[in-house]
Amino acid sequence: EKYPVNAYDHSKPATYWAWWNLHHMPKLNHANPQVQEYIYSVAEYWLKKGIDGWRLDVPSEIKVKGFWEGFRQRVKQVNPEAYIVGEIWSEAKHWLKGDQFDAVMNYQWTDATLNYVAGDRFDTSLVENRPFDVAPTSGADYAKRLEEILDWYHWEVTTCQMNLLDSHDMPRLITLARNDRTAVKLGALLLLTYPGAPSIYYGDEIGMTGGAPEEKCREPMPWQQEVWDTELMEYYQSLTKLRHQHPALRTGSMTMVYSDEHVLAYRRTLAQDDLLVLTNNADSPKSISQENLPDAELSVLWGEIDLVENEWRLPARSGAVLKVSR
C-alpha cells in the first residue's frame, strides 16, 4: 500500500495487505502463476523430504478457481498416497469431490460428539467465538446427527476424515466438560471406534487441560510423568490397541443399531470382523434389551458391561464393545 514496508514494528499497522492485519502473514496474489508455482514447489519440496501430507490452514481464504485443484495434482504426482486435509469447520462437500482435498477436520462430528459426551457439563463460555451449536444431546439425537454427517460424503471420504475431540483452535474437551473425566473417556471411545482417521491432540491422553484464549490450549507438553493421568493414558492405549487389532474399526461398514435418551449402539463390520459399540451418557446405569441388538451371539470384547436377564447393563457414563459372532 505504501513504502517503506513495515513488517516488524507491530505498534504500527502493516503497510501491505495482511491476513487479519498480522504483519507476519502478508496476503499473496494466488491468481499469479509465479505465486502458484512457488507454493506448489514448496509442497513438492517437503514431500520429497519425506512428509506424509499437508494440513491446510483456513484454505477457504484462497478463492482463486483451480488453485487447490492444481495443488492436489502436484502433491499427488510426488506421492499418490499423500494426505491432504483442510481446516473447514462446516459441511464440506465442495472440497471433497476428489479434485481438491482428501478430507477435512471433521468439526461437525466434533460438535455433535461434544454435545453427547459433555451434555450439561459443557462450559459454553469457552466457545462463544467458535461455530459450535451447543445443546445437550440425547443418544437418539446424536445417532440422527451422525447419520446426517455420514450421508454427506462418499464412504471413501468418510474413512479418511480427520476426526477430533479438540485441537489447537479450541478448548480441550476435559476443560470444556469442567474437568469431567467420564466425558473424555466417552469421547475417546467414540473417536477410536468411528469411521475415519482419529486425531488425538497431544496431551489429551494424559489429562492436559486448556481453555480460552487459544494460548491456554497450546501450552507445551509436560514431560514430567508424575503429573500425567496414567490411568487415562492406559485407557487411550487400550482403545488404540483395539482399533489396531480390528480392521472393522478402521474400514468396516457402520450401521446404527439402537438409540434412546441416553444410549447409543452402532455396528462396525468387515467380513468376519463384526463389532458392536455401546455407550451410555447418563449419570446412572442403563439397560439395553437383547431384543434391540443383533440376533447373534454377543460377547464382551472391551469395557465393562453385564448381561442380566436378557438385558445388557452399562454402568453410568461408560461404554463397551461387543463381538458379534454369526
Q: What share of the chain is helix, strand, coil (3-state, %, to 5)?
A: 35, 20, 40
Q: Is the pLDDT at 206 greater than 80, yes or no? A: yes
Catalytic residue among 9, 61, 87, 234: 87
Task: Say whether 52 is catalytic.
Answer: no
| pLDDT of 13 | 86
- The domains of the chain, with CATH numbers, are 1-30 (no CATH), 39-251 (3.20.20.80), 253-325 (2.60.40.1180)
Give residue-wise pLDDT tens across range 28-64: 999 999 999 999 999 999 999 999 999 999 999 999 9
Decide: 301 and 168 in contact? Cβ < 8 Å: no
| pLDDT of 212 | 83
| pLDDT of 219 | 96
Give residue-wise pLDDT tens across range 159-192: 999 999 999 999 999 999 999 999 999 999 999 9
| pLDDT of 130 | 76
Q: pTM to 2 decimals?
A: 0.95
Q: Which residues contact 265 (CB under 8 A, 6 or more apart)?
A: 256, 257, 258, 259, 276, 277, 278, 279, 288, 292, 293
DSSP states of 231-286: HHHHHHHHHHHHHHH-THHHH-EEEEEEE-SSEEEEEEEETTEEEEEEEE-SSS-E
**pLDDT band at 1; cut points 50, 70, 90:** low
Secondary structure of residue 228 in the 3-state scheme: coil
All three cell numbers of 5? 514496508
Catalytic residue among 37, 57, 99, 133: 57
Decide: 70 and 100 in contact? Cβ < 8 Å: no
Residues 271, 269: Cα–Cα separation, whole Å: 6
Task: Say whether 87 is catalytic.
Answer: yes
- Averaged pLDDT for residues 68-83: 98
